[in-house]
Amino acid sequence: MSVRVRNLVRTYRKGKGWRPRGEEVTALAGLTLDVPANEVHGLLGPNGAGKTTLCKILSTILLPTSGTAEVLGHDVVADAAEVRAHIGIVFGGERGLYGKLTARQTLRYWASLYKIPDARAKARADELLSRLGLDGKADDLVETFSRGMKQRVHLARGLVGDPKLILFDEPTTGMDPVAARDFRALIGELRDEGRTILITTHDMDEAEAVCDRVTLIDKGGVLATESPRGLAEMSGLHRWVEAETTLDVTAIPGVLHTETRNGVLRVKTTDDRSARAVLDFLLDRGVRSVRAVPPRLEDVYLDLIGRRGMEV
Ligand SMILES: Nc1ncnc2c1ncn2[C@@H]1O[C@H](COP(=O)(O)OP(=O)(O)OP(=O)(O)O)[C@@H](O)[C@H]1O
């Protein structure tokens, strides 16, 4: 097991400075989670659900209030140094980069923190710069980089220590669509190399595209852990029909909701029978490319957690 979390609790005290005892906030309320080796695992949940707190505890930045967490068999409190040696952390945003270093210097610096010998550190930096499409910019100062390029430096930095477990917190924030697509391909490569990946995201398409399994977190606890497809089936309440049409199907019994995206009509129906009725209605009128689809991860998420927290 790469990650083993049992009854993890973390509380914070609100209020700072002279106020000795502010109100207590529970970020994690007895969370239990297993992530097997070599899995890409998504953590989904609304703002404030506790995802970042969990990532911080797993990366030994934050101590739990109670409960246990093990990473690659090492306890995050008792064996923090061992844990740190085997993980890579990529938190979103621009935190933790020194603008006055070049991309290459950044990677060499981090390699020295991992105590990687010089020759190997140089080769590793070259390999990562090329892998993340930064070779042309390797010797430019990071402060001159765009947000997306900084994000790639973050990624490269997270991979310097050849980690067995990589924690990604909102990794595609600030990336353009091409960079985000490249990132998804990179995740696949990292898994093929035998690594385990834990990724927090608000991007349902991303989770669906890259994750073997996802865990829905709400109010510091686990709502469900499943494959994206399994979750979709679990929520099995609704069936969707998609078709390229402008026909109005709202009068058909069992149609709950319709929306059009990029010329594709999506119809949410109560069950298989009403989905069938919509399919028949459209096929009878000569509409092509009609298909019944299970709910997408985003629909399941909204179903289970509600609209709260989606307006990020
Ligand atoms: N340093 C802190 N001091 C006080 N409360 C905190 C602190 N950090 C987090 N919290 C609170 O703990 C709860 C969980 O926060 P956390 O950042 O783990 O959620 P999250 O799921 O990562 O949210 P987001 O999607 O917005 O990143 C929230 O109620 C938050 O306000």
Residue 145 CA to ligand 1 center (angstroms) comes to 29
Rg (CA), the chain: 23
Residue with the nearest Cα to atom 3 of ligand 1? Answer: 12
Give me the pLDDT at residue 97, please.
84
Give me the pLDDT at residue 92, please.
67
Ligand 1: atom nearest CA of 217 is: 21
Q: Considering the chain, what is the average pLDDT of its residues?
A: 87
pLDDT band for position 12 (50/70/90)? very high
Closest alpha carbon to 70 in 27, 33, 17: 33
Query: Which of 41-55, 57-71, 225-239 has the highest average model confidence (pLDDT)?
Result: 57-71
Residue with the nearest Cα to atom 6 of ligand 1? Answer: 12
pLDDT at 79 over 60: yes
Give me the pLDDT at residue 311, please.
45
Task: Give Cβ neighbours of residue 122 (< 8 Å, ≥ 6 apart).
Answer: 108
Pocket test for ligand 1, best of 5, 8, 52 (most atoms within 8 A of CB): 52
Binding site membership of 51 for ligand 1 (Cβ less than 6 Å): yes
Residue with the nearest Cα to atom 24 of ligand 1? Answer: 47
Residue 52 CA to ligand 1 center (angstroms) comes to 7
pTM given for the model:
0.81
Reported as a single tens digit per residue, the pLDDT across 101-148 is: 999 999 999 999 888 998 999 999 999 999 888 989 999 999 999 877
Binding site membership of 52 for ligand 1 (Cβ less than 6 Å): yes
Reported as a single tens digit per residue, the pLDDT across 30-52 is: 999 999 999 999 999 888 899 99
For range 199-221, the mean pLDDT:
89
Binding site membership of 147 for ligand 1 (Cβ less than 6 Å): no
pLDDT at 174 over 90: no
ipTM, two decimals: 0.95
For range 200-208, the mean pLDDT:
84
Q: CB 53: neighbour CB atoms within 10 A? A: 24
Ligand 1: atom nearest CA of 56 is: 18
Q: 3-state SS string over the chain? A: CCEEEEEEEEEEECCCCCCCCCCEEEEEEEEEEEECCCCEEEEECCCCCCHHHHHHHHCCCCCCCEEEEEECCEECCCCHHHHHHHEEEEECCCCCCCCCCEHHHHHHHHHHHCCCCHHHHHHHHHHHHHHCCCHHHCCCEHHHCCHHHHHHHHHHHHHCCCCCEEEEECCCCCCCHHHHHHHHHHHHHHHHCCCEEEEECCCHHHHHHHCCEEEEEECCEEEEEECHHHHHHHCCCCEEEEECCCCCCCCCCCEEEEEEECCEEEEEECCHHHHHHHHHHHHHCCCCCCEEECCCHHHHHHHHHCCCCCCC
Residue with the nearest Cα to atom 11 of ligand 1? Answer: 27
